[in-house]
Structure 1
Amino acid sequence: MINQLTQTFTLTPAQQAAVNALMPFTRDTWESYAAHDIRDLIGVQLRNFQNGKCCFCGLLYDETGRGEIEHIAPKKARPNEYPEFSFSPQNLAMACQLCNSSTMKGQYNSIDIHNANYGNCTFKIVHPYLHNHALHYRWNHGLLRVVITGITNEAKESIRLFKLAEEHRTTARAKQKNQERLVTLYNLPQNTIDRIKRALTFRN
């Protein structure tokens, strides 16, 4: 239900040169006017790759709020912030508004052991790109509830941080899974899918 991301955004040589021109990155570089076009380009690619699902909870954005570009290692969260990773492909993913809120991920320091090479950092949570989610989460699928269990410490921390085991998450996953089964079984047209989404949309 929460799947490892396998595609990161890519930049052309000219776009990468534009990013390099912004270096050294500070905690405010990402929001700068000079980064506007690159931010938009990254957002378009991530939305396409993730099919409207949050990288942390796996639910569709219309279940939990709009999708937002998330810095997995925070760019701005003193005293633990990592602006050097602001444009690192494996540090950027789409998260729902709920998971990225101040009551959940927000400015949480997800890095356990920092390394100048992003791929050599270790993380406190299940990383959307770097971890095989099947080795971290166990699922119990039911018609009305899809229950998540953490196998590893990273998974247990993700479940705690993103409240993945709470009832509203559990029932929302079941609704989404049932919807996906219907779409697959009946090869439903998009307008019918949209009506089903509206009918099954989770509400707090």
Structure 2
Amino acid sequence: MLKINGPAIIEPADQKKLDDIPEVDRPKKWDTSRTNAIKNFKSAIMTHGLKNQDNRCAWCTLPVGGTGRRTAHRDHIAPKKLYPKWTFHAKNLVVVCEYCNGFSVKSDLDTVKTEKENYDDIEFFIVHPYLHETEKHIRFREQEGDEPGVVVEGLTPEGIWTVNKLKLQSDGLTLLRAKELVFYRTINKLPHHFQRLLNQATGRQ
């Protein structure tokens, strides 16, 4: 999974309007409201996520959007249905693929071990992309340098929980990461101008 340096920056006026929404109403407002504050918040989350995550899913690390032909979703780390207070808290959201965010994987999975008044003090079952040093909890075996990882394993109780609950070690995801590695190694053997053209065509950096 990815380590993300910081959350999206939300305009203070928009955040004030979102904070004024009663906690119990926030999940429904997220799904149904079209106010400017909510639209601006969602846009900031998606724009920041795609840029800072290099168009990759925070959980499985595979490409999203046009790069990977996997739909980009905004995922509430502590699910809004269970923890409505954090619905519009930028640090509670990451950009993920539709598979990792789907009903068969994360959906409304309870990721919180102990809830606290302040978000940064919450104890999570899941490895948190903003709050935790992810490489201490999860690693890709035999990963070299900047190459994409293939076989994932948990190193701590939080890492093992995350790998198992999000099915990061599934055959399908492992095969897709292996294809990414083959692409990476192949493209690096091409002449520089071909590398540039292929990277531009596929949306890779």
TM-score relative to the length of structure 1 = 0.81
Structure 2: segments with no counterpart, 5+ residues? none
Which residue matches 1:192? 198
Which residue matches 2:16? 17
SS in 1 for 2:28: coil
SS in 2 for 1:28: helix
Contact 1:111–1:121 (Cα < 8 Å) also in 2: yes
Which residue matches 2:43? 40
SS in 1 for 2:41: helix
SS in 2 for 1:54: coil
Cα distance in 2 between the residues matched to 1:51 and 1:132: 18
CA RMSD of superposed structures (Å): 2.6
Deviation for aligned residue 1:196: 6.3
Matched, 1:58 2:61: yes
Which residue matches 1:138? 139
Structure 1: segments with no counterpart, 5+ residues? 198-204
Cα distance in 2 between the residues matched to 1:91 and 1:159: 19
TM-score relative to the length of structure 2 = 0.81
Contact 1:140–1:148 (Cα < 8 Å) also in 2: yes
Cα distance in 2 between the residues matched to 1:72 and 1:136: 17
Deviation for aligned residue 1:92: 0.6
Which residue matches 1:30? 30
Q: Deviations over 1:135-181 (max 9, x none)?
A: 112322379x8211111111111111221112222222222234344
**1:60 to 1:13, Cα distance in 2 relative to 1, 3 A:** same
Cα distance in 2 between the residues matched to 1:133 and 1:38: 26
Counterpart amino acid of residue 198 in structure 2: T
SS in 2 for 1:33: coil
Contact 2:150–2:177 (Cα < 8 Å) also in 1: yes
1:1-204 to 2 correspondence within 5 Å? 2-24=1-23, 26=25, 27-31=27-31, 32-34=33-35, 35-61=38-64, 63=68, 65-76=70-81, 81-141=82-142, 146-182=150-186, 186=192, 188-189=195-196, 191-193=197-199
SS in 1 for 2:29: coil
Cα distance in 2 between the residues matched to 1:11 and 1:182: 40
Cα distance in 2 between the residues matched to 1:39 and 1:196: 25
Paired positions, count: 191
Cα distance in 2 between the residues matched to 1:179 and 1:137: 23
Counterpart amino acid of residue 87 in structure 1: F
SS in 1 for 2:180: helix
SS in 1 for 2:153: strand
Cα distance in 2 between the residues matched to 1:184 and 1:92: 33
Deviation for aligned residue 1:195: 5.7
